[in-house]
Structure 1
Amino acid sequence: MSNNRVASFEAGRLLALLGVIAIHSQIFIQAPLINSEPWLGLLINQLSRFAVPLFFIMAGYFIAPKLSALPSSTMKQYSLPLLKVWLVWSAIYFLVPFNLQLAWEAGYLAERSGYWQYLLSQPLNTLFEGSLVHLWYLPGLICGLSVIAVCCHLKKQNLILPIAIGLYLFGLAAGSYSALTGLESPLFTRNGPFMSTLILAAGFKIRQSACQLSARNAAALAICGMWLHMAEAVFLMRYDVPFNMHDFLLGTPLWGAGLFLMLKQRPLFGQSIAKLNISKHVLGIYLLHLLIIIYLMQLLPLLGITGYANDILRFVLTCLISYGVVALINKTPLRTLLLR
């Protein structure tokens, strides 16, 4: 989530952030059912899965020159602030009550103890994820970049893609495709280096090779990747794998790479967004937004807001409140602790 001020990348970061918020706010997941499934919400969920891959590709792209030249010092300089932020927000989410009504009625420890037991019941995932599910992004980013940095340090950059592809295929085989392969992993394979390394490597290699595609060809790549992702999700339903459970599939890296190359080909796209300088708030909004969603899911029904209005208002308020809070934090000394 770099602060590079290329207009199209600013727009891409904002769209990716909105995609993440759409996934976590579960927008329209309670919409009228079609064949016993809330397909509108499920489609929005999977159509938003470009978001994290786009963040990863941008991170790999922008760090590539320094990581290639000075892998050890670059990783230290890049990862330590992210690790600090991850630890701080993990502590926050470990301590802050989610169910405010239960905390009020039964007490703080009664509300928190069940969640603490849940975290302790899966220590390996908690180690690579943190105390709330969306925090997995930061350890995943650090792990993936560490694999690339080790290859650069050993002067074995030719091994980056083979290793990354191997990790990704294992991640799929023991993740979304485990119903077919029978493979299991003690670590949920979205976490750690399994999926992140390949997508970070895609951005790294695009920068190193100065890869260019025409806007039309990049769009074709993105569309093919998206349709492949969707086709896989539909196919896996035959094996009782829920349509909306997939973070990454075979088509996802192609989807993300195509979108990134489209943005790269059209650097002036989203100039008005670039003027707002939203990118400096993206990481903070990402870290905060899920807590806002959790509270709005409890508050809006109490106010009598249900149905589509609840979904739309939850999404809009999450965006506005998260932006407002992060903008305020940026004006205080807390920004060095909470926002890198």
Structure 2
Amino acid sequence: MKPKARNAGIDYFRLIAAFLVVAVHTSPLTSVDGTADFVLTRVVARVAVPFFFMVSGFFLLPGYMNGQDTGPGKLCKFLQKTAMLYGITILLYLPINWYAGYFRMQLLLPNLIKDIIFDGTFYHLWYFPAAITGATLVCLLLEKFKSGHVVLITLILYLIGLLGDSYYGITEQISFLKSFYDVIFLFCDYTRNGLFFAPAFFMLGGIIAGQSHPYPAKECWLGLSVSLALMLAEGLCLHGFDLQRHDSMYFMLLPCMFFLFQSLLLWKGQGNKSLRDISVIIYLIHPFMIVLIRGFAKVIKLQEILVGNSVIHYLAVAVCSAIAAIVITVALERKGQGEWL
């Protein structure tokens, strides 16, 4: 089945994933229950970014994996589009970075280079260099090796990243591993980046795109339910034993994403470009909305409600981001500028 014939579920879940990212950055259940918020934002919502990587791999990699010559052209287009969005968003957040004192940090130039290449110049912008690096790496590997070998390489990279992320509490107890990761962390703040994190999900998306038929619904839902339950158990255990340096990577995230994506492909139909554009814009602007809402709440002296109440804070950020995204999308479509998204 061609990717274009099964876009509906993917496009609708893009919007869900965008709101999950908003949840990660606002912790909506903090004022309700800390454990519930951890489960939502540090486990369940961790499917969002891998999903976006898989979508890119789903549409980008078949040209490399089936021997066609369409791969390089698609890669160049993907890199240009992603780099343009990254550059625009860097500029958008320059005033906030300036106000926050980003440009007054010590060793500004090496840190700026590190952020642009790996970590992003604002906390949600790491996705763009990760996507650029991950896509380029996987495509280069596919030009040199068979798909099965590339899968193995990306899984090894993911394992390396995992030991520097959710399992770092174990890693740091082993001296030679700690020394190894100390070197890695000189160049990047986290291992959830384009070298260790993104490639496995790009490749997973490409593999699924190459399937002639999607998995049966019963197998998809059973696999998703079991893998998600095991990922919840994994996350809670790691959190309980205080082993996590960060919480973006889990062993069970890989099978969870496989079955989630397979489940979405069961929702057949044409894609919705407006939903794609809105989800991208929500991702790009929601930190800006967080700043605006916090500032507005301070001015009108409603911080206790708009900021202190985590549920209301999340809803305010999500609704404002969605409204702004819809307005921007409509304006771009009317001007014929929607293709840049």
Q: TM-score range by the shorter chain?
A: 0.7 to 0.9
2:121 alignment partner AA:
S
Q: 1:13 to 1:326 in 2, by over 3 A?
A: same
Question: C-alpha displacement at 1:87, in angstroms?
Answer: 1.7
Question: C-alpha displacement at 1:224, in angstroms?
Answer: 2.3
1:6 alignment partner AA:
N
Aligned residues of 2:118 and 2:129 also touching (Cα < 8 A):
yes
2:37 alignment partner AA:
G
Corresponding residue for residue 77 of structure 2: 77
Q: 1:322 to 1:7 in 2, by over 3 A?
A: same
Corresponding residue for residue 89 of structure 1: 89
Q: 1:309 to 1:235 in 2, by over 3 A?
A: closer
Q: 1:3 to 1:292 in 2, by over 3 A?
A: farther
SS of match in other structure, 2:124: helix
Residue 246 (structure 1) aligned with residue 247 (structure 2): yes
Q: Tell me the TM-score normalised to structure 1 length.
A: 0.81
**1:4-28: CA deviation from partner (whole Å, max 9, x where unpaired):** 8732222211211121111112112
Corresponding residue for residue 10 of structure 2: 9
Aligned residues of 2:61 and 2:139 also touching (Cα < 8 A):
no
Q: 1:191 to 1:15 in 2, by over 3 A?
A: same
Corresponding residue for residue 22 of structure 2: 21
Question: C-alpha displacement at 1:126, in angstroms?
Answer: 4.5
Alpha-carbon separation, structure 2, partners of 1:118 and 1:312: 37
Corresponding residue for residue 36 of structure 2: 40
Alpha-carbon separation, structure 1, partners of 2:327 and 2:72: 34
Corresponding residue for residue 256 of structure 2: 255
Corresponding residue for residue 200 of structure 1: 202
Residue 55 (structure 1) aligned with residue 60 (structure 2): no
Kindly tell me the number of residue pairs found equivalent between the two proteins.
Answer: 317
Aligned residues of 2:305 and 2:312 also touching (Cα < 8 A):
no
Corresponding residue for residue 106 of structure 1: none
Alpha-carbon separation, structure 1, partners of 2:81 and 2:273: 25
Q: 1:303 to 1:3 in 2, by over 3 A?
A: farther
Corresponding residue for residue 293 of structure 1: 290
Alpha-carbon separation, structure 2, partners of 1:151 and 1:23: 32
Corresponding residue for residue 284 of structure 1: 281
Percent identical among aligned pairs is 21
Alpha-carbon separation, structure 2, partners of 1:119 and 1:275: 45
Q: Tell me the TM-score normalised to structure 2 length.
A: 0.81
Question: C-alpha displacement at 1:143, in angstroms?
Answer: 1.6
The answer for unaligned runs of 5 or more in structure 2 is none
**1:68-108: CA deviation from partner (whole Å, max 9, x where unpaired):** 43333221111112112102211221x2237xxxxxxxxxx
Q: 1:233 to 1:125 in 2, by over 3 A?
A: farther
Q: 1:130 to 1:308 in 2, by over 3 A?
A: closer
The answer for unaligned runs of 5 or more in structure 1 is 33-37, 99-108
Q: 1:334 to 1:22 in 2, by over 3 A?
A: farther
Question: C-alpha displacement at 1:44, in angstroms?
Answer: 1.7
Question: C-alpha displacement at 1:65, in angstroms?
Answer: 2.7
Alpha-carbon separation, structure 2, partners of 1:64 and 1:178: 31
1:254 alignment partner AA:
P
Q: 2:120 aligns with which of 124, 127, 130?
A: 130
Question: C-alpha displacement at 1:338, in angstroms?
Answer: 11
Corresponding residue for residue 237 of structure 2: 235
SS of match in other structure, 1:212: coil
Alpha-carbon separation, structure 2, partners of 1:290 and 1:113: 17
Q: 1:222 to 1:133 in 2, by over 3 A?
A: same
Aligned residues of 1:88 and 1:337 also touching (Cα < 8 A):
no
Q: 1:294 to 1:224 in 2, by over 3 A?
A: farther
> How well do the aligned residues superpose, as a CA RMSD in angstroms?
3.1
**1:271-306: CA deviation from partner (whole Å, max 9, x where unpaired):** 9xx779322221121111112123323433632543
1:294 alignment partner AA:
V
1:205 alignment partner AA:
I
**1:237-256: CA deviation from partner (whole Å, max 9, x where unpaired):** 3542359x411210112111
1:129 alignment partner AA:
D
Corresponding residue for residue 35 of structure 1: none
Residue 222 (structure 1) aligned with residue 212 (structure 2): no
Corresponding residue for residue 314 of structure 2: 315
Question: C-alpha displacement at 1:40, in angstroms?
Answer: 2.2
Question: C-alpha displacement at 1:193, in angstroms?
Answer: 2.2
Alpha-carbon separation, structure 1, partners of 2:255 and 2:328: 36
